[in-house]
Amino acid sequence: MRISRRGSKLRGQDFSVSKLNEDRKSNAGKKGGVNFVDPNKLFVGNLAFSVTEDQLLSWFESKGYGTHVSSCKIIRDWRTGNSKGYAFASFTDPIFATSAMASLRNHELDGRIVRLSQGQRKKTEAEVAFVTEDRRGVSDLTEEVRLAFSLLLLLLRLMYVPNAI
């Protein structure tokens, strides 16, 4: 199967990494608006409480995203300073965030399976009061799409030449 950024066929349907990435970016809302969610930022959940920012960054580096992750921020309890078990990772471009979200599914860090998803804007108290169900649903990405993203990542790694001018 051949995958290109412009598009290809996957099980008879058009598949385009760029389209999936554009969909993710368009769902982020307009910058400065109340619904804006940074498309470069991913939520990193189910972390061991002992994981540090440096360990998380090293984990991304070991998976091939070292040059594409600009920062990692572990969220901590403001009183105790202890990790809450989740973080946010900022990527240099939304395509790398989308690729990481798909290709690093079910990968472990410090004995726990890391959960990556698009960051969400913080809910107001009024919005939180009316949420009646758990919204941590399963990803809509099928196994074929995850495989396609993994192959795209491999192609991007092969095409990347550092300091080439």
Burial 77-105 (b: 16+ CB within 10 A, else e): eeeeeebeebbbbbbeebbbbbbbbbbbb
Structure tokens at 6: 């412009």
pTM, to two decimals = 0.57
Sign of CA pseudo-dihedral 154, 92, 116, 83: positive
| pLDDT score at 161 | 65
User: In the chain, which stretches have pLDDT less than 50?
Assistant: 1-11, 15, 128, 130-139
Domains and CATH numbers, the chain: 37-121+141-158 (3.30.70.330)
Structure tokens at 92: 């240099």
| pLDDT score at 135 | 47
Within the chain, where are the H helices?
Answer: 17-26, 53-62, 94-103, 125-129, 143-159
| pLDDT score at 102 | 87
Q: Which amino acid is at 47?
A: L
Q: What is the DSSP string of 83-95?
A: EEEEEEEEESSHH
Q: Kindly report, residue by residue over 69-82, the tens digit of the pLDDT.
A: 999 999 999 999 99
Q: Which amino acid is at 12?
A: G
Structure tokens at 85: 């078990």
Q: Kindly report, residue by residue over 61-71, the tens digit of the pLDDT.
A: 999 998 999 99
| pLDDT score at 34 | 53
- Of 100, 85, 129, nearest in space to 41 by CA: 100
